[in-house]
């Protein structure tokens, strides 16, 4: 197991890590209100998320996202990725080519409009909070194996990422979206500030989305 008392050694996510990355994301995000909004069946949510979030990971990496991860025996134990400045939005055609239209067959017909509603809502909030002129990196799918959590590893990983970004870019701006209040507090301790707190959704499972920013 990785020694959480030392500086983590980060690598990029390889194709051989995609499957375990999808399962790690599903394990960590099955209780996320945004995912519960479009995965309504508790008995299948982890399997659906493992497929959907692996699809999104492949899509993002194919469109310029920069990943970081820790693996153990080629199994993903911690991960995340940054979209590069000015590469936040991925067009509908690229999403269709990546497998967007398979969602009804994997998750049920009602899931597709809800997935689109969540994605559009998060993107709308980003535009409201960050504007459209300031380039910024967007942090996505930052997760750590549950048995490794609570030991300061996430803080060490992101501090290392901050230093790497500062070495490459002048006055970088970072952004993220989260739907769980405890993660808001975690990111605030790392210097992020809440720019926008607003609702997404149109029924009883509507949820709060926080848009946050950090200027390095």
The CATH label, of 3.40.630.30, 3.40.50.10800, 3.40.47.10, 3.40.1500.10, for the domain at 15-215 is: 3.40.630.30
Contact 143, 77 (CB under 8 A): no
pLDDT tens-digit readout, 112-124: 999 999 999 999 9
* Average pLDDT value for residue range 30-51: 96
Query: For residue 215, how many other CB atoms are within 10 A of its CB?
Result: 12
Q: Give domain limits for the chain.
A: 15-215
**CA–CA separation, 132 and 130 (whole Å):** 7
Query: Is the model's pTM score more than 0.85?
Result: yes
Q: Which SS3 state, helix, strand or coil, does residue 49 take?
A: helix
pLDDT score for 133:
85
pLDDT tens-digit readout, 4-26: 567 888 999 999 999 999 999 99
Picking from 50, 13, 10, the residue whose alpha carbon sits closest to that of residue 28 is 50
**CA–CA separation, 187 and 179 (whole Å):** 12
* pLDDT tier, 91 (very low <50, low <70, confident <90, very high otherwise): confident
**CA–CA separation, 54 and 63 (whole Å):** 14
pLDDT > 90 in the chain, percent: 81
Q: Across all residues in the chain, what is the average pLDDT?
A: 93
Picking from 209, 201, 172, the residue whose alpha carbon sits closest to that of residue 114 is 201
Q: Which SS3 state, helix, strand or coil, does residue 150 take?
A: coil
């Amino acid at each position: 197991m990785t020694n959480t008392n030392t500086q983590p050694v980060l690598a990029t996510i390889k194709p051989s890590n995609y499957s375990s990355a999808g399962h790690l994301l599903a394990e960590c995000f099955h209780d996320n209100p945004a995912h519960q909004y479009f995965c309504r069946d508790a008995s299948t949510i982890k399997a659906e998320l493992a497929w959907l979030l692996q699809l999104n990971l492949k899509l993002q990496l194919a469109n310029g996202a920069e990943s970081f991860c820790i693996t153990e025996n080629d199994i993903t134990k911690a991960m995340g990725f940054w979209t590069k400045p000015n590469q936040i939005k991925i067009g509908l055609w690229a999403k269709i080519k990546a497998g967007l239209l398979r969602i009804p067959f994997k998750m049920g017909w009602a899931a597709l409009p809800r997935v689109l509603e969540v994605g559009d809502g998060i993107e709308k909030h980003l535009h409201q909070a960050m504007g459209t002129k300031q380039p910024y990196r967007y942090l996505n799918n930052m997760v750590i194996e549950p048995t490794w959590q609570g030991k300061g590893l996430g803080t060490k990983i992101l501090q290392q990422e901050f230093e790497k970004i500062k070495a490459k870019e002048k006055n970088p701006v970072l952004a993220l979206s989260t739907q769980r209040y405890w993660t808001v507090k975690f990111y605030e301790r790392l210097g992020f500030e809440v720019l926008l707190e607003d609702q997404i959704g149109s029924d009883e499972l509507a949820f709060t989305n926080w848009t946050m920013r950090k200027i390095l």
